[in-house]
Structure 1
Amino acid sequence: MTEITVNSTICGFTHKIRGSMKGDKIIVDIETPCEKIKKFSHMEIPMMETLDIKNNYVIDRAQEAQCSSNCLVPCAVLNLCKLESGFMAKSLAKKAGSISIEFNNT
């Protein structure tokens, strides 16, 4: 089981994303106050449909829910999928602690 917290400071929402590998799918649940994210808050994601950005299960669900292109949740879900499927080491994620975007000189 992997758990990720997304602090979307621009829109003011905090999202809890939890997921675990079951067979060849990653089961993901998102606890969120955002109505758009709620539209895809439970997914059974085929592991092999997260590798490419163009034909990507998570990005397709976010697009269907009309998420903003700067929404951090789809990216966080993809990172969770990489962790659960073993394509990214959990020790690396733990060492990094977080990922951030800083707006400099705006």
Structure 2
Amino acid sequence: MTDVTVNSTICDFVHEIHGELKGDKIIIDIESPCEKIQQMSHMEVPMMEILDIKDNYVMVKAQEAKCSSNCLVPCGILNVCRIEAGFLAKSLAQRSGPMCIEFK
């Protein structure tokens, strides 16, 4: 199981993303105060549909939920999926620490 926190400071929401590989799908559950993100919870993401940044299951679901283009949650979900699928080492992600966008 992989757990991440996405702190969306622009919209002032904190989202908890939980993912677990089951067979060839990654089960994603999200705890979020955002109604749009709540629509994306309980996803069964096909493991091989997370590789392309544009044409992938998570981005399609984000588009269907009408997420803003600056929403960080889809990126967080994709990172959880990549860890669960074995495409990104969990130890590397943990060692690297938080990801952020810094406005200057």
Deviates more, 1:52-61 or 1:8-17: 52-61
Task: Give distance in 2, aligned partners of 1:22 and 1:58.
Answer: 17
Alpha-carbon deviation of 1:42?
A: 1.2
Q: Does residue 59 in structure 1 map to residue 81 in structure 2?
A: no
Alpha-carbon deviation of 1:54?
A: 2.5
1:33 aligns with: 33
1:86 aligns with: 86
Matched to 2:66, the amino acid is Q
Residues paired across the two proteins, number: 104
In the superposition, the TM-score normalised over structure 2's length comes to 0.98
| Offset from partner CA, 1:42-84 (integer Å, 9 cap, x none) | 1000000000123200000000000000000000000000100
The percent identity for this pair of structures is 67
Matched to 2:60, the amino acid is D
| Offset from partner CA, 1:9-64 (integer Å, 9 cap, x none) | 00000000001000000000000000110111110000000001232000000000
Structure showing greater Rg: 1
Task: Give distance in 1, aligned partners of 2:74 and 2:66.
Answer: 12
Task: Give distance in 2, aligned partners of 1:90 and 1:35.
Answer: 29
Q: Tell me, what secondary structure is at the counterpart of 1:83?
A: helix
Matched to 2:31, the amino acid is E
Task: Give distance in 1, aligned partners of 2:90 and 2:103.
Answer: 28
2:21 aligns with: 21
> What is the root-mean-square deviation in Å for CA atoms of aligned residues?
0.6
Gaps of 5+ in 1: none
Gaps of 5+ in 2: none
